[in-house]
Amino acid sequence: MSTTNQRYMTQTDFMSWRMEEDPILRSTIVAVALLDRGPDQTRFVDMMRRAIEMVPIFRQKVIEDPRGLTPPRWAEDRDFDLTWHLRRYTLTEPRTWDAVLRFARTAEMTAFDKCRPLWEFTVLDGLDDGKSAFVMKVHHSLTDGVGGMQIAREIVDFAREGTPRSSPDLRDTTPNGEAAVSPGRLTWYRDTAADVAHRATNALGRNGIRAVRAPREAGRQAAAVAGSTMRLVRPVLSTLSPVMTQRSTRRHCAVLDVPLEALAQAGTTGGGSLNDAFLAAILRGMAKYHRLHGTEISELRMTLPISLRTETDPVGGNRISLARFALPTDVSDPAELIRRVHATVDTWRHEPAISLSPMIAGALNLLPAVTLGNMLKHVDFVASNVVGSPVPLFIAGSEILHYYAFSPTLGSAFNVTLMSYTTQCCVGINADTDAVPDLAALTDSIADGFRAVLGLCAKSTDTSVVVAS
């Protein structure tokens, strides 16, 4: 796709933008880093200046086409004011972690000012033990979890005294090396048509040769792609949970800490991966949570974000596909559950239509926005696993002790996001208060789910699960 066309939102970014016509589907990501002390303000501001130099989209706002004939585009905010995006407050009583989570839920529930760049960073000083918190709020169209970690690794330090870095290359003043002149609608249509034609020609060429050499196999592959596409976009008309059925714009947050080595070991013991063990823990927790509500369930439907990001993709942007599928909750043996989860997730990761997600998103963007809501609102939960840093990170002289992400619910009852950081898995839970009015019960149930899964580990391994408060 030409660099000029890149000034417009990608179709996947546009999808996360359009779905916000329904506030329940608001695509806000909030991350919270617990710091061992308050960051130096001058160094902190310098760090953020470097960030917006490296990722120019952080100083750009969204311009929508008044006729809706093209996706919105990113344009320089002539009124950009870094001090508006950076805030710093001192907590009043109670100066506890719970106060930080209350601030995070407020950030999650508050819509962005769409006349400005879509991010806000806040330092909260004054925690009782001398610690501080760093709350990051970004719109999902600005970046996804993997992109966010890429940005973080480029701007934070790896030692308390700082990390020497070369100056960013500022030859390009617009994202992805785009031209500074704003493209017009005709340019977008021309470039998009050229891109589609190029993809179609390549596909037809490959399929044409395949059809001549092996017509039956070509037909089977075409049918497989068509069937896969239908599975990816099929509507979901009802929740599988009989308990978590209501939806609202209200949110509340909780966190867990799980040993990284133990969770990886449990996944391997069960014949899967760390991510499979993570999902198995949620499923075990959900079985318990529903029993607390007097009901037994055999399966729940989840949304799994699948990263499409490659090494050649620019930093930032939203490059994921959303797969929706059911997983069992009635398997008592953690190892067997991990194996079942692994088989299902692996199948979905290799669905032929996953690689076509940007084109599918483009087709869905032609439909009324309510269609997207109907596809997502009856999903029971979202789970996302983001690979964080294996080494400690520092922000302006402050060490990050824990790093939690609260990803959007996307219309589901709750979202659980696991962020690995040094030796821990920092687990953030973002729940719809109408779907989950008893967050403590949900959190304790998921914690017990992790404990059951970590029971697969060797006795010498640390398997402690901590509900942070």
Indicate if the alpha-carbon torsion angle 50, 53, 57, 62 is positive or negative. positive
Per DSSP, 24 falls in state: G
Residue 210 has pLDDT above 70, yes or no: no
Q: Are residues 411 and 274 in the same domain?
A: yes
Residue 196 has pLDDT above 70, yes or no: no
Report CA Rg, the chain: 23
CA distances from 208 to 202, 219, 223, 333, 450 (A): 10, 11, 15, 48, 50
Whether 36 and 141 map to the same domain: the answer is: yes
| Beta-ladder partners of 307 | 320
2-27 mean pLDDT: 75
Whether residue 35 is contained in a domain is answered as: yes
Mark whether 33 and 139 lie in a shared domain: yes
Structure tokens at 453: 């899964």
> CB of 286 within 8 A of CB of 445?
yes
Query: What percent of the chain is modeled with pLDDT above 90?
Result: 57
How high does pLDDT run on average in the chain? Answer: 85
The 10s digit of each residue's pLDDT in 221-272 is: 667 777 777 777 777 889 999 999 999 999 999 999 999 999 999 999 999 9
Number of domains in the chain: 2
DSSP secondary structure, 277-290, as one string = HHHHHHHHHHHHHH
210 vs 218: CA distance, rounded Å: 6
Q: What is the pLDDT of residue 103?
A: 97
Is 14 found in the same domain as 118?
A: yes
Q: Lowest mean pLDDT: which of 145-159, 193-207, 428-442?
A: 193-207
**Nearest Cα residue to 191 out of 307, 71, 319, 110:** 71
CA-based torsion, 268, 274, 276, 280: positive or negative: positive
Residues 190, 15 contacting (CB under 8 angstroms): no
Distances (CA, A) of 267 to 262, 286, 329, 454: 9, 19, 17, 9
Q: Lowest-confidence range among 56-65, 149-158, 340-349?
A: 149-158
In-domain check, residue 400: no
**pLDDT above 70: residue 197:** no
pLDDT at 147 over 90: no
Confidence (pLDDT) at 155: 83
How many whole angstroms separate alpha carbon 204 and alpha carbon 200? Answer: 6
Is 139 part of a structural domain of the chain? yes
Shared domain for 133 and 279, answered yes or no, is: no
- What would the mean pLDDT of 392-412 be, rounded to a whole number? 96
Residue 35, φ and ψ in degrees, nearest 5: -105, 150
Same domain membership, residue 262 and residue 157: no
Q: Do both 120 and 24 map to the same domain?
A: yes
> What SS3 class is residue 307?
strand
CATH code of the domain containing 353: 3.30.559.30
pLDDT at 171: 43
Is residue 227 situated within a structural domain? no
Residues 333, 435 share a domain = yes
Boundary of a domain, candidates 106, 138, 165: 165
Whether the pLDDT of residue 450 is over 80: the answer is yes
Secondary structure class of 80 (helix, strand, coil): coil
Q: Is residue 67 part of a domain?
A: yes
Q: Are 433 and 250 in contact (CB under 8 A)?
A: yes
- Domain end: 165, 182, 205, which one? 165
Contact 439, 429 (CB under 8 A): yes
Cis peptide before 94 (omega within 30 of 0): yes
Domain span at residue 334? 251-390+406-467
Residues 127 and 270 placed together within one structural domain of the fold: no
Q: What is the pLDDT of residue 254?
A: 97
Same structural domain, 446 and 335 = yes
Q: Determine, yes or no, domain membership for 159.
A: yes
Mean pLDDT of 329-345: 97
Q: Is residue 398 within 8 Å of 38, Cβ to Cβ? A: yes
Domain-located, residue 401: no
DSSP structure class, residue 303? E
CB 27 within 8 A of CB 140: yes
Q: Is the pLDDT of residue 438 over 50?
A: yes
Q: Read out DSSP for 33-74?
A: EEESSPPPHHHHHHHHHHHHHH-GGGGEEEE--TT-SS--EE
Are 17 and 149 part of one and the same domain?
Answer: yes
**What is the predicted pLDDT for the residue at 207?**
45
Spatial separation of the C-alpha atoms in residues 191 and 242, rounded to whole Å: 47
Instruction: Using the 3D structure, point to which of 165, 192, 225 is the last residue of a domain.
Output: 165
Full strand arrangement of the beta sheet holding 394-395 = 86-90, 119-125, 132-139, 28-35, 398-406, 394-395
Conformation bin of residue 406: beta by default, left when phi > 0, alpha when psi is -120 to 50: beta
Q: So what's the pLDDT on residue 10? A: 79
Is residue 382 in a domain?
yes
pLDDT of 33: 97
Distance CA 261, CA 259 (A): 6
**Of residues 336, 341, 333, 268, the one with CA closest to residue 302:** 341
Q: Phi, psi (5° rounding) for residue 326?
A: -95, 145
Tens of pLDDT along 66-89? 877 778 888 999 999 999 999 999
What's this model's pTM, rounded to 2 decimal places?
0.86
- Token readout for 336 is 């067997």
What is the C-alpha separation between 31 and 413, in angstroms, rounded? 19
Decide: 387 and 309 in contact? Cβ < 8 Å.
no
Do 125 and 263 fall within a single domain? no
Q: pLDDT confidence of 173, banded at 50, 70, 90?
A: very low
The CATH number of whichever domain residue 155 belongs to comes to 3.30.559.10
Q: What is the pLDDT of residues 92-144, one digit of tens each?
A: 988 999 999 999 999 999 999 999 999 999 999 999 899 999 999 999 888 77
What is the 8-class DSSP label of residue 240? S
Q: If pLDDT is split at 50, 70 and 90, which confidence band does 213 have? A: low
Asked which of 24-28, 83-87, 370-374 is least confident by mean pLDDT, the reply is 370-374
